Amino acid sequence: MLKFLSPSNVYSFIQSLIKFINSIFFLILLIGLTFALILSPPDFIQGDSVRIMYVHVPSAWIGLLCFSVITILSILNFIFKIKNFYLINKSIAPIGLLFTSLAIITGSLWGQPTWGTWWAWDARLTSMLVLMFFYVLYILCFKFIKTDEATVKWSSIVAIIGSINLPIIKYSVDWWNTLHQPASIKLTGSSSIHSSMLMPLLVMLLVFLLYAALIFLMKYKTEIIRIKKKNIKKT
């Protein structure tokens, strides 16, 4: 059914995509940084510390996005047994871990000037930390479980259990009284962020998404080569 997505068929497409992202990435990064550090205005209350938002928010979103994709592909893999999904998940997990860690670190650096503390055991912060632990656990499944079948089974279990945390992260600021502010950007309904800040945020999100895609493609390509190398003598 998904034969056109087989590693052999997508390999040359991956190569072209990597080249394309490499060719546009630095230009978009430069535009994003100019907006984030120079052109966007300081916040009325938070002053220039609000600029941390331009790296903190996209990191958190990508951290969540990666785990959501991992969960969906794990469920599909459980049902349809498509090995390709396992390779995709293995390539996505380190990216998710990187961005979740960056969201926590930059959040801490934003928390100190605005809340007066580096860390609080607040619902949003704690649930993000839990997500980071799930990423670590997920990656450890690939490192320490020897057979592919057992790895798929245990990593899928970790992903599915970890996915319970995703709505908790999203709604923690509504369900509990937290230090963390409620969402300023809503897909449904009006956002409370001004366009002069929304624009740089979206450009930085694009930069982070391109970077995540680039790393994913390189890791996925590595996985394909690793498997083909194992099978080269069998062909």
Partner 1 sequence: MISEFLNMNGYGLYVWSSFSIVLISCAVVYLRTRKTLRKYEQEFLKELQSLSQEEQSKAVATSKIAQQILATNTKTN
Residues near partner 1 (CB under 8 A) are: 7-9, 11-12, 15, 33, 36-38, 42, 47-49, 51-52, 55-56, 59, 94, 98, 101-102, 105-106, 109-110, 112-113, 211, 214-215, 218-219, 221-222, 224-226, 228-229, 232-233, 235
Is the CB of 13 or the CB of 175 nearer to partner 1? 13
The rounded radius of gyration (Å) of the Cα atoms in the chain is: 20
> What's the length of the chain?
235
Is the CB of 157 or the CB of 209 nearer to partner 1? 209
Q: Give the span between the Cα atoms of 110 and 131, in whole angstroms.
A: 20
SS3 131: helix
Q: Residue 149 CB, nearest distance to partner 1 (Å)?
A: 23
Q: Give the span between the Cα atoms of 193 and 7, in whole angstroms.
A: 42
3 backbone dihedrals φ, ψ, rounded to 5°: -65, -35
Q: Residue 196 CB, nearest distance to partner 1 (Å)?
A: 17
Taking a C-beta distance cutoff of 8 angstroms, is the pair 109, 51 a contact? no
Q: Residue 106 CB, nearest distance to partner 1 (Å)?
A: 4
Is the CB of 56 or the CB of 124 nearer to partner 1? 56
Q: Residue 217 CB, nearest distance to partner 1 (Å)?
A: 10
Is the CB of 97 or the CB of 159 nearer to partner 1? 97
Q: Residue 11 CB, nearest distance to partner 1 (Å)?
A: 5
Residue 78: which residues within 8 A CB-CB, separation 6 or more?
156
CB atoms < 10 A from the CB of 127, how many?
A: 19
Is the CB of 156 or the CB of 204 nearer to partner 1? 204
**What are the structure tokens assigned to 54, written together?**
């331009």
Is the CB of 156 or the CB of 224 nearer to partner 1? 224
Q: Residue 111 CB, nearest distance to partner 1 (Å)?
A: 9
Residue 117: which residues within 8 A CB-CB, separation 6 or more?
111
The 8-class DSSP code of residue 116 comes to S
